[in-house]
Structure formats: C-alpha cells, structure tokens
Amino acid sequence: MALSRRLLPLFLRRGAPAVRALSTAAAPAAAVASEEEEESITVKGVRISGRPLYMDMQATTPVDPRVLDAMLPFYLSRYGNPHSRTHLYGWESDAAVEAARASVASLVGADPREIFFTSGATECNNIAVKGVMRFYRDRRRHVITTQTEHKCVLDSCRYLQQEGFEVTYLPVRSDGLVDLAQLEDAIRPDTGLVSVMAVNNEIGVVQPLEEIGRICKEKGVPFHTDAAQALGKIPIDVNRMGIGLMSLSGHKIYGPKGVGALYLRRRPRIRVEPQMSGGGQERGIRSGTVPTPLVVGFGAACEIAAQEMDYDHRRVSALQQRLLDGIRAQVDEVVINGSMEHRYPGNLNLSFAYVEGESLLMGLKEVAVSSGSACTSASLEPSYVLRALGVEEDMAHTSIRFGIGRFTTEEEVDRAIELTVRQVKKLRDMSPLYEMAKAGIDLKSIEWSQH
Amino acid sequence: MAAVAAPTRAEVLSLFRSLLRTAKQFSDYNIREYTRRRAADAFRDNRALADPPAAAAAFAEGKKQLEVARRQAVVYSLYAPKAKSVMELKVQ
C-alpha cells in the first residue's frame, strides 16, 4: 500500500503526456497538434501566451467578413455547378460566377471576357509563361524576366530552358527596380514574352509597369505581370499599363485561398497553350469546374478593394511610417531593403545589422512575421531576392518582412515595435560583432581563422 | 433608390450605434477593431453629406453593412479559437 502510494505520483506524472497525446488524437479536426489552454498555446513545442499578432500579409491575408458573407450561400443551398445548363442550380451559380468575373475585370480596367479563373497566381504564371511560349514556339524562342521574380515564374522559365528556349534573367538595381534601358536592350526579334512582377512579394517594390508596357508595345512583345501582391493595393489599368497577361490571386486581397485569375488580352489577341486538358471550361484556357464559392469570394474581395483602396492605402501608409519611426527611434543600423519611394507601404522589409535572423524570428514568437517569402523560408539560405539587390549575405540573413494590412491596428504596430526593439537589443548585447563594430573595428577587415 | 428622402438625424445616429454595438460582438480582435473604426470613419466622412439622394444611398449602404456584420458576428462567435490574441491579454 505504502509502495503504491509512493508510485502513484510518478505514474500520474508519466501519465499526463499520454493523456494529452490522446486528446489531440481524438480531435482530428485540429490538423496541427496544438493545444489551446486558457492561458497559453503550444504549437510545435513553442509556448506562447496568445495568438500572435499577424504581420505576414504578403504570405496571405485574413478573409474579410464581407467576403465570407458573400461566399457562404454558395456553400449552403446554392451548390450548383456553374456549367450545368439544364436547371436553376446551374443558372444561379453561373450568374454569380459571371458577376464575380465582372468585379475582377472592373478592378483592373479589363473586359470580363479577358478574365479566366484559375486556382491562384502560381497557376496563372505557369499558364502565362509556358503557355505563351509554347503557343508561339515556331517564331519566338526567347523570354525576358527579372532575377527577383516569384519562384513559380523562375521555375517556369527554367522549365522552358530545358525545352530549348532561351531566357534572360535581368538583374535589378540596388533599389530593386528593373533598369528600363537594360530591358529594352535585352529584347530581341524572337523575344516572345517579357515577365516582370508588379509588386515584389519580399521587398514590396513597385516596378514601373507603364514604362515597361510602353517598351513592350513598341517592340511588339507581350508583357506579362504577376500582380498577385499589387491587386487592390495599387491602381492597375491593363490598358494604360500596356499589360498583355496578368496573374491575380484571391487570398492576397482578403479573399479565399485557392482561387486566382489570369487576365489575357483580346485586342491585340494573345493566345496561350492551355496546361490542363478537360471539359473546356473558361474557354478552354483552364478546364475544370469553376469553384463557385471561391470565385464569388474573389469577386467580393475585388469589389471591396475597389471601394476601400484609398482608405486602406492612407491607413497602411500611416502605419508603415509609425512602424519605421518607432523602430528607428530606438535601434540603429536598420536598413530598408528595396526602394522606399517606389514601394507598396504594406510591406516593410528591414535588415538589422549584427543580429542573426533566425534568432530574431524565434524571439518574436508573439509577432507573426517572416524573413521573406513563405515558399523559401523553409531553407536557411538567404533570400535570392535580397541577393539580387546586392545585399551582403550577413544583412540578407537578418531581414524581417513586416506586412501591414486592412485589419492591422496601431496597437499591434506599437507592440511589434516594442518586441522587435527588445529582441534586437538583447541579441546585440550578446553579439561580439556589434561590440567590435561599436568600438570602430571594420568587420570586413578581419581575417577570420579557418577551422 | 430614386426620390428617397434623406434619413433623419435620429435614424443616422441609431444606425451608427447599432454598428458600434455589433462591432463589439466580434470575437476576433482585428475584425472587432476594424468594424468599429471603419464605421466611425465612414460616418465622420459622410457627416457633411447634404444632398438627399447621396445621404439616402450612404444610409442604405450602412444598413446593408449592418446586416453583414450581424450575420458575421454570429459566424465568428461559432468558430472562435479558445486562445485570445496577444493583443487582448494583459501586457506582462
């Protein structure tokens, strides 16, 4: 008896994790083994007091409640396939899809017949880059893009290279912008496509679309732009900017994930070879049933963006200034990556000298930020975008991208400043490099001994 | 919407108060703050709206937004995460 009493606490202690593991297994809906207790959350072994404040708007944005409100009916009673031609269910879905198409088109100054719904900007970029080149493969063998494009454009270009096409990856200036003279020189008689993204996902710089469009028009080359990060945030007009093809995404503008749209110019007509074979939906450009609820949500998000662009822009600009001033007032040697003048203010990419990026991010558990793009944050390599800007490797390693959006509050910005400053100061206090730099030693002159 | 009389001051104030009350019901910190802020800013911006059809249109838009907010406040409450935003917790 005495023995068992002594054993009991031991048992209990060992039993506790097993019970916890069981409880998460019993709730398969919780995809991540996260535990939400009243006081704290534990995910992947990290314990935090509450849900972090969200400042990763370039990765994705929260769904606007007005968007969800528009979508829900199509998840409930209005479940028809928009391609069903024989009954009401199909007709009402079709009408909703066409209304959404008009909303998307109107936000970019296009004709609804030029909008093709896809699964997202990655698919659009694939259709645009590979599709155009494959369609015109007999006469056009050359593609121009930039070194700071999104991975899916670069990978599509690599794929084309394997098929025997030639690709020019234009370098960018140290402010992240493409050199227009260099672009013009790179265009050849057999250039089939110029692909330059509108707003960079990592550093937020806005490329001179209008000028690029003009050059492409003069040379008779289709201009494709990946506008996933630009839609609803900066004004886009496909005619004024001479855009031939454009990739758009739903979840970057407070819409649902899993939907996007490709803009494809009708006059002069630009044709692409489809990637998907099937039922010929979306005029054969993108076969597969159009997901009505997602498309309706995307349409609603575009409509709201059109109404709210000025209001959001004013607010986001003010918050960006607040964030930058707040950090700069308390921490020195902070560098903004990318042009400040030609920039979407909802993206502030900062490098903190003498601080290790991963340690900084891990210390900022209560702020959901990223060091760059979500696609590449799994690797420890510094961002290729920052490298293309000529940012030194040590500075590229310490970058943090703060994303500000429609739902960000002043208090969140203030908290982000406070936590970032605290963490940077803490890491610098531990850093011998910072101490040496403060003592006036030029770190580049040091010859480190090899191991 | 043609020839609709402008809403009275009492009607406008009542709509504003309803929007603020509904905003408070959102369980999500960011949505709650946004709804409150957006409503307040919209009413402030439209305060000088003298043209009756324009005032009536703005009022109708506000009522539509109130309906959306009422529905969504319920939806958000149904799926509210147990843990709150760090912004709602006391500063350590």
Per-domain residue ranges of chain B: 20-76
pTM of the model: 0.89
Q: Do B33 and A407 touch (CB under 8 A)?
A: yes
Residue of chain B whose Cα is closest to the Cα of A70: B68
A334-336 and A41-43 strand pairing: unpaired
A297: tokens are: 């949500």
- Inter-chain CB proximity B86 and A52 less than 8 Å: yes
Q: Is A283 exposed, middle or buried (0-12, 13-18, 19+ CB in 10 A)?
A: exposed
Compute the nearest-CA separation of B32 from chain A (Å). 9
For A:260-279, CB contacts with B below 8 A are none
Q: Is the pLDDT assigned to residue A15 strictly greater than 90? A: no
Q: What is the mean pLDDT of chain A?
A: 90
Average pLDDT over residues A153-167: 97
For the cut 70, the answer to whether the pLDDT of residue A404 exceeds it is yes
Tell me the per-residue pLDDT of A254-288, one tens digit each, with 9 for 90 and over.
999 999 999 999 999 999 999 999 999 999 999 99
Question: Does A199 have pLDDT greater than 80?
Answer: yes
CB contacts, 8 Å: A68 with chain B: 72, 75
- Which chain A residue's Cα is nearest to B71? A69
Q: Which residues contact A330 (CB under 8 A, 6 or more apart)?
A: A417, A421, A425
Token duo for residue A182: 């260099």
Domains identified in chain A and CATH numbers: 2-51 (no CATH), 54-59+309-439 (3.90.1150.10), 65-304 (3.40.640.10)
The C-alpha torsion from A40 through A43 and A45 to A46, rounded to 10°, is -60
Which residue of B19, B26, B34 is the best one to mutate when testing the A interface, meaning the one whose CB has the most A CBs within 10 A?
Answer: B34
A23 pLDDT more than 90: no
Q: Report the greatest alpha carbon distance in chain B.
A: 57
Query: Do B62 and B15 meet the contact criterion of CB atoms below 8 Å apart?
Result: yes
Residues of chain A with Cβ-Cβ distance to B72 below 8 Å are 65-66, 68-69
- Residue A75 has which token pair? 């998840």
Query: At residue A3, does pLDDT exceed 60?
Result: no
Is the pLDDT higher at A244 or at A12?
A244
**Sorting pLDDT into bands at 50, 70 and 90, what band is A44?**
confident
Annotated catalytic residue A157: no
Q: Does A61 touch chain B (CB under 8 A)?
A: no
- pLDDT, tens digit, 9 for 90 and up, residues B7-47: 999 999 999 999 999 999 999 999 999 999 999 999 999 99
- Cis peptide upstream of residue A82 (ω within 30 degrees of 0): no
Q: Cβ neighbours of residue A137 under 8 Å, at least 6 residues apart?
A: A165
> What are the tens digits of pLDDT across the range A115-159?
999 999 999 999 999 999 999 999 999 999 999 999 999 999 999
Of B68, B82, B88, the CB nearest to A65: B68
